[in-house]
Amino acid sequence: MAAPSEFEHLRDLLLAPEVTSLHTLQRDLEALQRQVQDPEEIARLLEPVLAELLRRRDPLISSAILRAVTPYLDQAVREKSAQDRPALSRALAPSSTEAIAIHYADAPQAAAQDLAPLMSAAMKEQIRGERDAVIDALYPVIGSTISKYLSETLNTLIQRMNERIETHLSFRAIARKIRSRVTGVSEGELLLRDSLWCRVDAAFLIQKASGLVIAQAQNPDTPPLDSDLLSGMLTAIRGLFNESMSGNGRIRELDQIEYGDSRIVLEVAGSFYIAAVVSGIPTDSFRERLRETVRLIVQLPGNAISEFTGDTASVPSPVAQSVEALVRDTYGSEKPKRTSPPYGVIVIGIILLLALCVPLGISWYRDSVDRQKEGAALAALRATDSTAFRDVSVDVDRDRLRLSGAVANEYLRNNAAGIALTHVPDATLDNGITTEPAPAFPVLLGRRAELIASALNTLEGVFLEVEHTGPDLSVGGIVPDTATERNVTGAFSSLPGLRSYRSHVSPGSNELPSRLLFSLNSVQIRPTERAILAQIRAVMDQTPWAALIIVGHSDLTGNEPANELIARGRAVAVRDALIALGVPDRRIQVEGSPGPPPDLDGTTQDSLSRCVRFKLVPLTRTIAP
């Protein structure tokens, strides 16, 4: 081979990078063509891009993707259902019920219309396939409903009978009326009970399909019955009756067979029925007991009744006990015999009884009314003052009111009489209440009242003023609540020798509502606050027995010693202003508090914290200057 020329060598040097780039581009193009032709490779490449687009939740992109994917969803679901239907059902099951619930919550009427045809068809198919099982399930509900309407019909019949009986007069009707009043049972029901008579001679629990006797019970006082023969006969009669009477898809059941003086009453459930041989007329209560027995048997667990094959040992004991109870409860029942009672003796006895009971009843009633009046009057006295009237007794005898016992003074004696008469207004009063001896000197009454007031004035929120003239006493002032007001009244009204008592005590706060506000770091009273000083002066004139405590306050800015100093300075400034208005110095006391009033937390409204407030206290509590 000839050596490359210089031209070829120069060409290779100049074109080598471009040739390499072209070869690389050719390889990349071939790889891209392979990826485009391979769908799986395209899907792998697009997966991160689609995930990023969906993560951004752009409405336009999401809508475009949904429009592109939607036509294929139906085909995908059909193919998956054809391949593996159980797997698809398990996947959709958790959300199907929730979807139905959401549909019903959003549009209940539309959901009901959508589901109604499906539910109706499902119920019809279930009834056609397992009619006996459906009857067993619905019997406890349907049986109770039918029993309710039958009971209402019977009650209507009894009411009509009562209306007719009440217009009929005879000795027997009078006796029945008395019996009805004594026992609380209506006359119609008593008449119905006397007219109907029922005794169960035998009861059989029979399987509907086979006619086998599952359980039985017979009255030992009656001739025994062949259970197998009876069950076979009843099964055949029921089958013939159902075939001949069940037309147009309607199912009818035979419920009673009559022969002679006896009847066979049938109560049919799903897979069995009970046949009761009854002498007399089956009453409503007996039929209700029969239905209740069927309900108990239906509600027993297991399938011993429907799967019975003749082995009585497999029958649960409650079944046999329920059937036996139907017969056992009527042992010894006999048809009532009508006898003619001695009407003359009954009438005379009633007259004598009424002659004896009427006066006793009237006397008992009047005594009962008197005791009620006594209790009401005594309760009113105790509620007024349980201490002052603890020894007082009340006795009401027809139109006479007697009071006895002892109280402290004449005021309480008269007060007790007035309270008792409000509860026995038409009675003649006999006031036998005694009073304690009056003090030898009337001035002792006033002295005792002053001592009581001084003691009470030591309590927080209490200050009282006492005025007395001989045996007459008047008390005024302020107390914190109504309970304290009652206690104060009881303390003064129980003084021995008291003739009259007037109370001007009222519950309220000893703190006045008015407050003076100050500027920041100032103890000077603003001109606009001078009107409040005049109000305080008027209150002091109206309460000569009271003293005034002036409490100064500051906000929370600054240190505590400085705040206390400026707070007391504000109180002193107000005191000097009141003294200048004519309030005696001995009736004023000042205090300083380095903080806001108790009803302010100090975090807001600092301007309200810089104030002076006022409290009234008994004059004896002040500290003399």
pLDDT value at 336 more than 50: no
Buried b (16+ CB within 10 A) or exposed e, 591-623: ebbbbbbeebebeeeeebbbbbbbbbbbbeebe
Q: Alpha-carbon torsion 574, 576, 581, 587, what sign?
A: positive
pTM metric for this prediction: 0.32
Q: How far apart are CA 49 and CA 65, in angstroms?
A: 12
Max mean pLDDT range (152-156, 282-286, 593-597): 593-597
pLDDT confidence of residue 590: 94
pLDDT value at 351 more than 60: yes
The tokens describing 214, both together, are 């599952």
Mean pLDDT of 307-311: 81
Torsion of CA 95, 98, 102, 107, to 10 degrees: 100
| pLDDT tens string 170-183 | 556 666 677 677 76
Which has the closest alpha carbon to 310: 216, 213, 218? 213
Work out the burial of residue 219: count CB atoms within 10 Å of its CB; fewer than 13 is exposed, 13-18 middle, 19 or more buried.
buried
Mean pLDDT of 191-219: 76
Q: Would you call 268 helix, strand, or coil by DSSP? A: strand
Classified by CATH at the fold level, domain 134-328 comes out as Beta-Lactamase (3.30.450)
Q: Would you call 426 helix, strand, or coil by DSSP? A: coil
pLDDT confidence of residue 551: 95
* Confidence band, pLDDT 50/70/90 cuts, at residue 155: low
8 A C-beta contact, residue 433 and residue 587: no
Work out the burial of residue 554: count CB atoms within 10 Å of its CB; fewer than 13 is exposed, 13-18 middle, 19 or more buried.
buried
pLDDT value at 559 more than 70: yes
Q: Would you call 397 helix, strand, or coil by DSSP? A: strand
Task: Using alpha carbons only, give the angle 536, 460, 531 rounded to the nearest 5 degrees.
Answer: 10
Max mean pLDDT range (279-293, 410-424, 489-503): 410-424
* Confidence band, pLDDT 50/70/90 cuts, at residue 208: confident
Label each residue of 481-528 as H, E or C: CHHHHHHHHHHHHCCCCCCEEEEEEEECCCEEEEEEECCCCCCCCCHH
Torsion of CA 467, 472, 474, 480, to 10 degrees: 120
Work out the burial of residue 516: count CB atoms within 10 Å of its CB; fewer than 13 is exposed, 13-18 middle, 19 or more buried.
buried
Q: How far apart are CA 45 and CA 316, in angstroms?
A: 72
Write the class of the CATH domain 513-621: alpha beta
Mean pLDDT of 319-336: 70
pLDDT value at 135 more than 70: no
Distances (CA, A) of 578 to 6, 519, 530, 538, 546: 128, 20, 10, 11, 15
Mean pLDDT of 577-583: 92
Which has the closest alpha carbon to 456: 499, 490, 408? 490
Max mean pLDDT range (130-144, 444-458, 577-591): 577-591
Write the Ramachandran bin of 421: left for phi over 0, alpha for psi from -120 to 50, otherwise beta.
alpha
The residue with greater pLDDT, 437 or 515, is: 515
The tokens describing 615, both together, are 């409290």
pLDDT value at 372 more than 60: yes
Mean pLDDT of 561-573: 93
Classified by CATH at the fold level, domain 364-435 comes out as Histidine-containing Protein; Chain: A; (3.30.1340)
Mean pLDDT of 366-383: 85
| pLDDT tens string 547-556 | 899 999 998 8
Q: How far apart are CA 475 and CA 504, in angstroms?
A: 6
Mean pLDDT of 198-210: 81
pLDDT confidence of residue 162: 59
Which has the closest alpha carbon to 478: 537, 543, 548? 543
The tokens describing 257, both together, are 């067979």
Query: In CATH, what is the architecture of 443-507?
Result: 2-Layer Sandwich (3.30)
pLDDT confidence of residue 251: 61
Query: Cβ atoms within 10 A of the Cβ of 467, count?
Result: 14
* Confidence band, pLDDT 50/70/90 cuts, at residue 583: very high
pLDDT value at 59 more than 60: yes
Which DSSP string do the residues of 156-177 spell out, in sequence order? Answer: HHHHHHHHHHTT---HHHHHHH
pLDDT confidence of residue 355: 77
Mean pLDDT of the residues in the chain: 75
Query: What is the amino acid identity at position 108?
Result: P
